[in-house]
A and B are shown apart, each in its own frame.
With several copies, the nearest count.
Chain A
């Protein structure tokens, strides 16, 4: 049983009140929605893709501080990256940034919802627009996140 005593440090509280890249993109190249049926967190992401790079990304929705902080960090990491690099993002890249590696099982879903939405979004984009036959691996990975 891990302790959660140190989870709510300043950075998390700060992100929860002032999330990065929060909002919508009109007519985005990629958009995806998912929610966490167990707690009601709900996230939409929007991305524009230019020259195989994520030229812009925003997220919207509601969630707990952990969800908002992780979503913020996720968008910060993704912005400007190539699709290939985005595909490689692992959960610890997000969790590590916020010191959440030992998060308890129930809360991990709050932390990784936006990453899941990102991966499904990219999958949908690759499968639809680029006819990428390897996209399924990404879908598998997304569904295995938690």
Chain B
């Protein structure tokens, strides 16, 4: 059992949190849903690789190549452990969630989706779980359908039932946590419906994996995608997990080095999994850096992460509810949401709000958050979004509240 972990101690691992920005204001970083900050352990792991072990991997026999290859492959084992994946060969390293989903659309999608088929997604998806399916369905003459969102920011899963009943659904592509509303998708219910209908499920775990315990064997989906940079890891690394039976049938995506077994002039055979889908020199140093991020989160424990975020989010929701004219989107039920709070403040445009509070050192995001379909559903052009992680404190929430009050004064609310 973990004894009390101190957030003050965690903060010491993140050098950037000492930054002063703008007019020498202490940085308050509340843009974690966009990307997380990196602990010194991750930064050092990358430096150490380049300082001591740098080499290309898999193909050479010299000492550095051996060290680099081993460190790279160890990360795959750690990912398997982190998400309770049975077979490490199901894990493919990509650039991020976006590439992971596009890889599925270009391979499994092009192979399996036919004219008249339906792909179901949701109104609260990130563009990276919408646009690849638009491109695919348009190319194939298939249809894209959306599961709606109710006023509490929750999915109307009845609609999924209706789509599935047509018998034409080939894939349900759904995120486990909305990056705008923070809503946690009821994956058990989604999987129950889809298993009954024998429909494949792709889960966008970009927001869930960094913030809560995720167990892929328990979920039982077919494809799973997430990004390292949102969970303390470096940019340029993501993971696509695919159930072995499907992965074995998938045609390759990129052609090139490492993904081949034998290349002849007019015919080529493919390498074993997962290498068949990792063409070219991968992002070696950052995959190795990602190891350190996984270690960091494992040491904390994902229960700690989730509980800390519940505490901060609850506190922030309470404080923000007292501000007149401030509208919060999504459910107030803390058990059903992650540490993401989207809001609008009277008639102040989110960009103006973000600029004003940035002057106080507070970094939040404003805009459509790559979720324009959801913006249309909410009937807003944009929202402001504060999102929390392991190093955020209640004192930082207080600074946010204060800066919102300043915005109110400037805009004479």
Contacts and interface: CB of A to CB of B under 8 A. Distances in A.
Partners in one complex: yes
User: Binding site of B, secondary structure by majority: helix, strand, loop or mixed?
Assistant: mixed
B315 interface: no
A67 B350 CA distance: 12
B260 A5 contact: no
A13 B351 contact: no
A42 interface: yes
Interface in B378-400: 381-382
B165 interface: no
Of the candidates B349, B359, B367, B375, the one having the most CB atoms from chain A within 10 angstroms of its own CB is B349
A24 B399 CA distance: 42
B381 A62 contact: yes
Nearest to B372: A40
Interface string A1-35: 10111011000010011000000000000000001
A100 to B, nearest CB: 11
- Listed residue (A7, A16, A41, A64) with the most chain B CB atoms within 10 angstroms of its CB: A64
A66 interface: yes
Most-contacted residue by chain B among A4, A38, A65 (CB, 10 A): A38
A52 interface: no
A105 B382 contact: no
Interface range, B side: 35 or more
A40 B368 contact: yes
B190 interface: no
Contact of B368 (A16, A39, A66, A104): A39
A104 B412 CA distance: 24
A140 B272 CA distance: 14
What class of interface size applies to chain A in its complex with B? 20 to 34
Contacts of B66: 1, 104-106
Interface centre among B22, B70, B367, B381, by most A CB within 10 Å?
B381
B262 interface: yes
B339 to A, nearest CB: 23
A37 B372 CA distance: 10
Contacts of B154: none
Contacts of A107: 61, 351, 355
B69 A64 contact: no
Interface centre among B22, B65, B375, by most chain A C-beta atoms within 10 angstroms, is B22
Interface of B: 22-23, 58-61, 63, 65-67, 69-70, 258, 260-262, 271-272, 275, 347-352, 355-356, 358-359, 366-368, 372, 375, 381-382, 410-412
Given A4-B22, A63-B381, 10 more contacts: A1-B66, A4-B359, A37-B258, A37-B261, A38-B58, A40-B368, A42-B381, A65-B349, A66-B352, A104-B66
Nearest first, the 3 closest Cβ-Cβ pairs linking A and B are A64-B349, A64-B351, A37-B261
Interface of A: 1, 3-5, 7-8, 13, 16-17, 35, 37-42, 62-67, 104-107, 110
8 contacts: A1-B66, A37-B258, A37-B262, A40-B381, A65-B349, A66-B352, A104-B355, A107-B61
